[in-house]
A = this chain, B = another copy of it.
Amino acid sequence: MYELFFRNFNNKVKLSAEEESQIKNYLTPKKLRKKQYLLQEGDICKTIAFVEKGILKAYSTDEQGNEHIIQFGLEGWIISDLYSFLTNEPAVYNIEAIEDSELVLISKSAHEELLLKVPKYETFTRLNITNAYLTMQKRITSIISSPLEERYAKFIEIYPDIVQRVPQHMIASYMGLSPETLSRVRRRISTK
């Protein structure tokens, strides 16, 4: 149980057996079926979720009811509405399973205790958030400075697994495009 979580943790910060079992006490497993929600807009986000298995999406909805995917969460990734989690404000994102998924949940109180009691947990957190930040930064750079075809080519290069497992219109949503436009971008790329 929690295999991937601890493999990931140990890759970043090596844990002793005692530390590992200490941390285990703070974790909760959760399974979600496809289309089930981990979080709905307006609720307070009570947990950070580490994805052991499956894929989820975090998305916001605009006035016209269109969904805009802000993040995918695959195996090994962490997904949450971090702002809501940290501030207890209502969430602006929905988090929904795209496939049947298995999660490791860390509640707010668990998170806070772990930060106080297990220094390596703070390091783990810092490294995770740093990764997430760098990923976002690359994404913005790509949005504001690369032509569409390049952006999509880069996307499939970095996330071949997402392309395999996620419907195309969700990738369009993630890229801020209509499904039709992404379809045309793909055709343009393939006819070269």
Q: With A119-B119, A123-B122, A140-B136 known to touch, is A62 a contact of B145 (CB < 8 Å)? A: yes
Q: Is A189 part of the binding interface, using a Cβ–Cβ cutoff of 8 Å?
A: no
Q: Is A60 part of the binding interface, using a Cβ–Cβ cutoff of 8 Å?
A: yes
Of all chain B residues, which has the CB nearest A119?
B119
Query: Within the complex, what minimum Cβ distance (angstroms) separates A129 from chain B?
Result: 5
Q: Copy number in this complex? A: 2
Q: Is the interface of A mostly helix, strand, loop or mixed?
A: helix
Q: With A62-B146, A122-B122, A122-B126 known to touch, is A92 a contact of B141 (CB < 8 Å)? A: yes
The answer to whether B144 and A70 touch across the interface, beta carbons within 8 angstroms, is: yes
Q: How far is the CA of A119 from the CA of B66 in the complex (A)?
A: 44
The answer to whether B176 and A70 touch across the interface, beta carbons within 8 angstroms, is: no
Q: When each residue 29-72 of chain A gets 1 if its CB lies under 8 Å from chain B and 0 otherwise, what string results?
A: 00000000000000000000000000000001010001010100
Q: Is A86 part of the binding interface, using a Cβ–Cβ cutoff of 8 Å?
A: yes
Q: Which of B68, B137, B175 contacts A83 (CB 8 A)?
A: B137
Q: Is A82 part of the binding interface, using a Cβ–Cβ cutoff of 8 Å?
A: yes
Q: Is A156 part of the binding interface, using a Cβ–Cβ cutoff of 8 Å?
A: no
Q: Is A165 part of the binding interface, using a Cβ–Cβ cutoff of 8 Å?
A: no
Contacts of A83 in B (CB 8 A): 134, 137
Of all chain B residues, which has the CB nearest A136?
B136
